A and B are shown apart, each in its own frame.
Chain A
Amino acid sequence: MFYRESGQFKSSYAEDQQIFPIRQDRIGIAALLVLAFVVVPLTADQYWFSAILTPFLIFSLAALGLNILTGYAGQLSLGTAAFMAIGAFMAYNVELRLPWMPILGSFAIGGLCAAAVGVVFGLPSLRIKGFYLAVATLACQFFVLWAINRIGWFSNNSSSGVITAQKIVIAGYTLDTPAAKYLLTLAIVTLMSLAAKNLMRSETGRAFMAVRDMDVAAEVVGIRMMHTKLLAFAISSFYCGVAGALFAFCYLGTVEPEAFNLDLSFRVLFMIIIGGVGSILGCYLGSAFIILLPILLNLVAGGVSHTFGVEINHASLSNIELIVFGSLIIFFLIVEPHGLARLWQIAKEKLRLWPFPH
């Protein structure tokens, strides 16, 4: 009933090809955007901006980057955090060494540097597949961190290898409040999500999916293997690089190379597995699950022990949180192995039939 499409006629090719063909979806997305761009900035407090929403958006973008590569083009990668590190450190260096460069230009250059490295480490994908490729990208993860740690140029010879992001100034206006940084992050993430959504509906995106589903067949129908795979690596790394730059400039402010360790790569990989491999919505759901659920569990545990006056040892409480979090991951993967995005799709189908299922 809620998703009834009857009465929605498409009378032109443009209408038939639009991103959200169902009117309810268009209304929903518009409402969501109004909520994110207008209602949230007016109502949320600093805690929400700097501890919840900004990291959520940044990790959604990183997950989106990985999803383009793994979910759409079928190339498994464990180098996400390294690409983020390149984005962060290069954006910092561009700002430092080319002071006239506008900040968005620095973010873009950070992303492009990550893309270049992505192409280089994507070369093995022409020969190897699956888990073996994942191991090859692991080399990227370790090499990049090693280089950033060893080569003083990256951190402007800081004694501890730590960089401090410069001020964000756009058109003479300094963005220094958490709300302003949130809005900048939101704008970039929205635009890049839109670009990704469109890219995946284009010829390039279809080529990615063809390579993912069966690369021999794809080659036979005339898709250039090297071009497609390396393009996937480049686009994916660009997204991760921009996410890394946002991580440094809009979220933490000061970052050490260790922040981008293998653990972070795994977390982003878990985000797309839980959210939904090969789905844009899944990136957001997965990021919310991995980033926000532990915080929610922590608040809930604190609330329960406070309300009921039960004195639970804090160490046990923290361990229980981890256990519950782990169980929830298993629960969701059993309920829906294709991720949370698939759950939403099923829900949508049910809503379409409701209240008269067959």
Chain B
Amino acid sequence: MKRNMIGGLGVAFAACAAMAFSAGAAAQAKEQFVPANGYWVGPYAPGGSGIFGGLIDYMQMINDRDGGINGVKFSGGKCETEYNNARGVECYERSKKKGPTGASVIHPLSTGITYSLIDKVAADKIPMISLGYGRTDAADGRVFPYVFPLITTYWSQAAAMVKYIGTKMGGMDKLKGKKITLIYHDSAFGKEPHGILQDMGKQYGFDVQMIAVAHPGNEQQAQWLQVRQAKPDYVILWGWGVMNTVALKAAAKIGYPRDKIIGVWWAGAEEDVLPAGDVAKGYIAAGFNVSGANFPVIKAIQKHVYAKGKGEMEDKSRIGSIYYNRGVVHGILTVEAIRKAQERFGKGQPMTGEQVRWGIENLNIDAAALKKLGAEGFMPPLKVSCADHEGSGLVKFQQWDGKAWKVLTDWIEPDRKLVRDKIEASAAQYAKEKGITLRDCSKEK
């Protein structure tokens, strides 16, 4: 009897798996497949569901309002990665052959998964966009032709933070003799800003103190005691998930002023500050997109998607939140890159990964283009090139007032030469280790 039950289960599984495979094979001809390999469960679900919600809704809006790009509609499929590298690789392998031209672009939405896919996307010729995360030196497109850490990398972010602190103090020369503490998530993500902060510390004469917080970061008393002893002028919070909320509460406990804490963009969403309650008031975070539902692009999504009873977000109040809007930024970049590729390789045709890569590399979204997209002030303008896979580096700083994120500054540009030199040096080391010959960008068409 026991064995019969198990056998029955096995047969049921096999049948269902067969259905899944046959369903995946039936794809239409004029479609552009963009997979949504994200996470809707687990500790990072707020980020995953918000960002992929925005991305999917934006593509849905383009499908419904414009009929796709020149008649090519977007199709997609979700795959749950659980923010786990092995599952992320599995989802990537599963999605890369779907649709008429395969996956046209990958958004891993996890620094770990990005690392795991770097070799694979180059072999499969599928561009990977790691928007504001991932491997920083991949911004050197000569070494990493298929990886795009668009808009801004962690190093640009750290440099922009120092610049912002400098402006608040009344000039970069005022940083001399000051003390900045970095509280970071103890992972590859948290270690990214170390080098650049130390270099800038030497350059401007400020002191940098690094304090690690072990994953997931729900115990931080010891770390903040160190902060109390050191009395830094500013604290940079390089956190993710629950760590951010706990940090704000711990800062309040030792009485460290929240408006002297500056968070990375993964520490600056509503989901990070709301659970902390009142103590989060005054906290400042960077961001390459702003919150709010009053932008024409968000209104278009509400009109063309949600008014028709479609849409990804069950909780409609999250539309216009930081994460959701970041997903819309992902959507805008994906759609515009494919539009650009179609201009060169044939309008009304689904593009292959290689063609989309050209599209991203020649992406130029200036202020006028942003206005046309309904995203003026929503995200920074960017211009990508063969060598520069970052394209912008601009961030805004926003302050939590207890109800919403208020924008404090205009787009702030980091010292791009300093960052670029470091990126090129690091990429060159990688190229040497891997035996990669640098791509000659003057020969790219």
Contacts and interface: CB of A to CB of B under 8 A. Distances in A.
A294 B91 CA distance: 12
A252 B116 contact: yes
Given A164-B433, A306-B19, A252 B93 contact: no
Contacts of A300: 13, 16-17, 20
A6 to B, nearest CB: 24
Q: Which of B6, B82, B90 has the most CB of A within 10 A?
A: B90
A254 B119 contact: yes
Q: Which of A52, A252, A255 has the most CB of B within 10 A?
A: A252
Contact of A50 (B93, B115, B433): B93
Contacts of B189: 160
B215 A303 contact: no
A162 B89 contact: no
A22 to B, nearest CB: 21
A291 interface: yes
B357 to A, nearest CB: 19
A304 interface: yes
B93 A51 contact: yes
A167 B192 contact: no
Contacts of B115: 162, 252, 254-256
A159 B195 contact: yes
Contact of A253 (B18, B49, B116): B116
A296 interface: yes
A161 B188 contact: yes
Interface string B88-121: 0110111001000000000000011001101110
Given A156-B433, A254-B118, A303-B23, A315 B215 contact: no
A149 B21 CA distance: 41
Interface residues of B, number: 57
A149 B435 contact: no
> Which label, helix, strand, loop or mixed, suits the secondary structure of the B interface?
helix
B200 interface: no
Interface in A42-60: 46-47, 50-52, 55
Given A166-B433, A347-B3, A322 B41 contact: yes
A244 to B, nearest CB: 14
B434 interface: yes
Interface string B323-339: 00000000000000000
A350 B7 CA distance: 15
Contacts, number: 133
Q: Which of A259, A313, A347 has the most CB of B within 10 A?
A: A259
Contact of A335 (B2, B77, B192, B194): B2
> Which label, helix, strand, loop or mixed, suits the secondary structure of the A interface?
helix
A299 interface: yes
B243 to A, nearest CB: 14
A272 to B, nearest CB: 18
Contacts of A257: 187-188
Interface string A299-323: 1101110110000011101110110
A50 B23 CA distance: 22
A252 B89 contact: yes
B41 A149 contact: no
Nearest to A335: B2
A300 to B, nearest CB: 4
A313 B56 CA distance: 14
Given A51-B89, A252-B116, A164 B186 contact: no
A321 B80 CA distance: 10
B41 A315 contact: yes
A228 interface: no
A251 to B, nearest CB: 8
B191 interface: yes
A47 B116 contact: no
B435 A167 contact: yes
A294 B20 CA distance: 14
Contacts of B118: 164, 253-254
A251 B135 CA distance: 19
Contact of B120 (A55, A253, A302): A253
What 6 A-B pairs have minimum CB-CB distances, sorted nearest first? Answer: A303-B20, A51-B93, A253-B119, A300-B16, A315-B40, A303-B19
Interface of B: 2-3, 6, 13, 16-21, 23, 39-41, 45, 49, 77-80, 82, 85-87, 89-90, 92-94, 97, 111-112, 115-116, 118-120, 123, 135-137, 186-189, 191-192, 194-195, 215, 314, 426, 429-430, 433-435
Given A164-B118, A259-B112, 17 more contacts: A47-B93, A47-B94, A51-B89, A160-B192, A253-B118, A254-B119, A256-B188, A258-B112, A261-B215, A299-B20, A300-B17, A300-B20, A303-B19, A303-B21, A307-B23, A315-B41, A343-B6
Interface of A: 46-47, 50-52, 55, 96, 149, 156, 159-162, 164, 166-167, 176, 251-259, 261, 291, 294-296, 298-300, 302-304, 306-307, 313-315, 317-319, 321-322, 335, 343, 347, 350
